[in-house]
């Protein structure tokens, strides 16, 4: 897993004036946390997008400031345009590399459930999982094998793999994935249950036949 790095410049423009930066392909960012006071920076929008795509939305990013300065940060908040989703602003949380952090990491599935069949679908109850780890040990994602899953056996936090330096902080019995019937299958079962079996009264008819 390669380290994530980003180059930044110190930012002088603030407030509404940051619109000038955006027109130049730059994104205003603020570094806070393990710093004496918040630091205003600006980064290239394409570099930031590539960093986020490579896992920068969960992993530690090393930010080198031109002219002097280096920050190890977690990207805590990203603002985008509501329609075009163009980056507008980002908040960087500077961390102490020797202190554990609690973060949210996305879940990725592998395998095919043993109980998978026609009329059944996989229900994902959580998109991400809460973990605790040193900044350098934070993974970009947690991969979980869902092949043991059946209708009676869901996948819980206890089924997640052991990752070096990572602790799962939520209830081990918390269900992450399960199998459930599709709407069509539920409707068919409900319709079948409403059909009452025909009762044939043979007693009298049998007596008449015997006469």
First to last CA, the chain: 90
Name the pairing type of β-strands 39-44 and 26-33.
antiparallel
What Å distances lie between residue 172 and 129, 130, 168, CA to CA?
11, 12, 8
pLDDT given at position 201: 55
CA distance 166 to 151: 29
Percent over 90 (pLDDT), the chain: 75
pTM here?
0.77
pLDDT of 122-154, one tens digit each?
999 999 999 999 999 999 999 999 999 999 999
Q: Which residues contact 30 (CB under 8 A, 6 or more apart)?
A: 38, 39, 40, 41, 89, 90, 91, 92
User: What mean pLDDT comes out for the span 13-27?
Assistant: 93
Q: Sheet holding 142-145: strands in order across?
A: 142-145, 101-110, 128-133, 167-168
pLDDT of 38-84, one tens digit each?
999 999 999 999 999 998 889 999 999 999 999 999 999 999 999 99
Mean pLDDT (the chain) is 88
CB 178 within 8 A of CB 150: no
pLDDT given at position 63: 97
């Amino acid at each position: 897993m390669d380290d994530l790095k980003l180059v930044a410049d110190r930012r002088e423009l603030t407030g509404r004036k940051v619109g000038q930066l955006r027109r130049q392909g730059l994104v205003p960012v603020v570094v806070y946390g393990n710093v004496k006071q918040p630091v205003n920076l600006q980064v290239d929008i394409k570099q930031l997008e590539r960093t986020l795509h490579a896992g920068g939305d969960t992993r530690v990013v090393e930010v080198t400031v031109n002219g002097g300065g280096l920050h190890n940060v977690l990207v805590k908040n990203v603002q985008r345009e509501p329609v075009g989703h163009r980056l507008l602003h980002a908040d960087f949380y500077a961390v102490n590399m020797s202190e554990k952090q609690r973060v949210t990491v996305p879940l990725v599935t592998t395998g095919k459930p043993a109980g998978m069949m026609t009329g059944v679908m996989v229900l994902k109850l959580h998109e991400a999982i809460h973990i605790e780890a040193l900044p350098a040990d934070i993974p970009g994602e947690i991969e979980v094998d869902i092949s043991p899953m059946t209708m009676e056996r869901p996948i819980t936090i206890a089924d997640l793999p052991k990752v070096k330096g990572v602790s799962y902080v939520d209830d081990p019995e918390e269900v992450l994935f399960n199998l459930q019937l599709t709407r069509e299958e539920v409707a068919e079962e409900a319709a079948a249950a409403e059909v009452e079996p025909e009762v044939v009264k043979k007693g009298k008819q049998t007596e008449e036949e015997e006469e």
